[in-house]
Amino acid sequence: MSIGYACLNIGTPNTNIRSVMQRNATPEKLTEVTEHNLTALERMIDYNRKNGIKLFRISSDLIPFGSSPVNALAWPEIYKEVFDRIGAKIRKSGIRVSFHPGQYTVLNSPDEDVVARAILDLTYHAKMLECLGVDNKHKIVLHVGGIYGDKIEALQRFEQNFRRLPEAVRNRLIIENDDRLYNIEEVIGLADRLQIPAVYDNLHHAINPPPSGGTDPYWIAEAKKTWKAADGNQKIHYSQQASSKRPGAHTDTIDLETFLSFHEQLEDKQIDIMLEVKDKNLSAIKCQNATTTTPKATLLEKEWGRYKYAILERSPAIYQAIRTLLKDKEAYPIQEFYRLIDTAFAEEIRPGYAENAAAHVWGYFKKYATDTERKQYEKNLANYRNNTGTLATLKRQLFKMAEKYEVEYLLQSLYFYLE
């Protein structure tokens, strides 16, 4: 089983994906942003390799205006060496990557201009996968699209336009049920006719089930029938409904008890699960640690190293409780560990606690800091205490010092990334 996350990484410096406004899309700007984005992608792939994450969705915005005449750069050739290097890392590590084009890529639109742009966009996504040198197990996920007053015609139009796609796209395209228009039964029917895989999304199914109903295990098993050996492991999407938000809104983090109940129902434990959740890689590692067949205390200790100062500024009591929990090196209290972390993040950051956590982080530098750095730290701390400055300003200084003094432990700390 592989558990993965989508597009963005939390806690790894310089992994943001940048975009360009069309009015600023000069060749120079497009080159600058593309180089930044490819560097960010490589850092995320390196993170995934280091942490054993085998499933990752790449941002569609990797190449700004990649499917548009606005970008006339020959980017596959210009960045061939970079794509080759990143692709080699992906293949060597056994990572499975994918794309999920956005809401404007609509293959079943009655508007030919919209369809033409969708074909260009899907071709762009397939080209990126080709540049990475990965096989057809690395997919492009798409929703069926709109209804436009007649669902039967809309489904027929999808079939017709699918056959207009280049073979390289058809070999990678997979379709997913959505939370409003096309339920999993309809998507599986379309997938059967096109001989392509269907992706089951549990939250979309909960919101938009077929009239016949059906459980998660039932529809996962039905969707599995659409996957052939050449497509790789069956892949599903998993998310949880955020309370007090619109139907379909994802939670900030995965509730582990709920996830483990879902996981327990899975007949095929080799299935690939793409998490759709706001804290991205953090939940992926949480779920990965909870389902590992080789539980080790060192996994939790590694996690604690990332979380500890972010916990300390929220709840010293929980900070101490986790330290106590981890003293037993023979135990693997995975659910209690993450329950305490989730409880801490439900707390507000209090000034006194925040000052205490900042002092712990400052302790890594106080032997090396210059007088100027010390005075600036004291000023930032005093300003925050007196409400004339912000905690963000104080943390920015501490982060810059972590970079300057190359304190890798702190640079990997979630203290700087979680608010």
CA 188 – CA 22 distance, rounded (Å): 38
Residue 278 shares a structural domain with residue 379 = no
For the stretch 95-123, pLDDT in tens is 999 999 999 999 999 999 999 999 999 99
| 251 — pLDDT class (breaks 50, 70, 90) | very high
Single-letter code of the amino acid located at 228: K
Once rounded to an integer, what is the mean pLDDT over residues 283-289? 97
Once rounded to an integer, what is the mean pLDDT over residues 224-234? 97
Using the 3D structure, point to which of 263, 291, 319 is the last residue of a domain. 291
Residue 80 shares a structural domain with residue 144 = yes
Residue 48 shares a structural domain with residue 178 = yes
| 42 — pLDDT class (breaks 50, 70, 90) | very high
Q: What is the pLDDT of residue 268?
A: 87
Is residue 211 pLDDT above 80, yes or no? yes
Once rounded to an integer, what is the mean pLDDT over residues 155-164? 98
Using the 3D structure, point to which of 266, 291, 316 is the last residue of a domain. 291
- Residue 143's beta-bridge partner residues? 176
Is residue 58 pLDDT above 80, yes or no? yes
Q: What is the pLDDT of residue 366?
A: 87
Residue 269 shares a structural domain with residue 410 = no
Using the 3D structure, point to which of 229, 260, 291 is the last residue of a domain. 291
Residue 244 shares a structural domain with residue 101 = yes
* 7 phi-psi bin (left φ>0, alpha ψ -120 to 50, beta other): left
Structural contact between residues 41 and 9, judged by C-beta atoms closer than 8 angstroms: no
| 419 — pLDDT class (breaks 50, 70, 90) | confident
Is residue 131 pLDDT above 80, yes or no? yes
> 372 lies in which domain range?
294-419
For the stretch 374-404, pLDDT in tens is 999 999 999 999 999 999 999 999 999 999 9
For the stretch 361-374, pLDDT in tens is 999 998 999 999 99
Residue 99 shares a structural domain with residue 228 = yes
CATH at residue 265: 3.20.20.150
CA 390 – CA 384 distance, rounded (Å): 5
Residue 263 shares a structural domain with residue 389 = no
The pLDDT > 70 percentage for the chain reads 100
Single-letter code of the amino acid located at 176: E
| 1 — pLDDT class (breaks 50, 70, 90) | confident
Residue 395 shares a structural domain with residue 279 = no
Residue 248 shares a structural domain with residue 344 = no
Residue 236, φ and ψ in degrees, nearest 5: -130, 165
Question: How far is CA 37 from its chain centroid?
Answer: 15
Residue 211 shares a structural domain with residue 334 = no
| 418 — pLDDT class (breaks 50, 70, 90) | confident
Residue 180 shares a structural domain with residue 220 = yes
Q: In the block, which residue shows the tokens 């996350």?
A: 5
Mean pLDDT of the chain: 96
pTM of the model: 0.94
Domain count, the chain: 2
Is residue 78 pLDDT above 90, yes or no? yes
Residue 299 shares a structural domain with residue 282 = no
Q: What is the pLDDT of residue 51?
A: 95
CA 273 – CA 266 distance, rounded (Å): 11
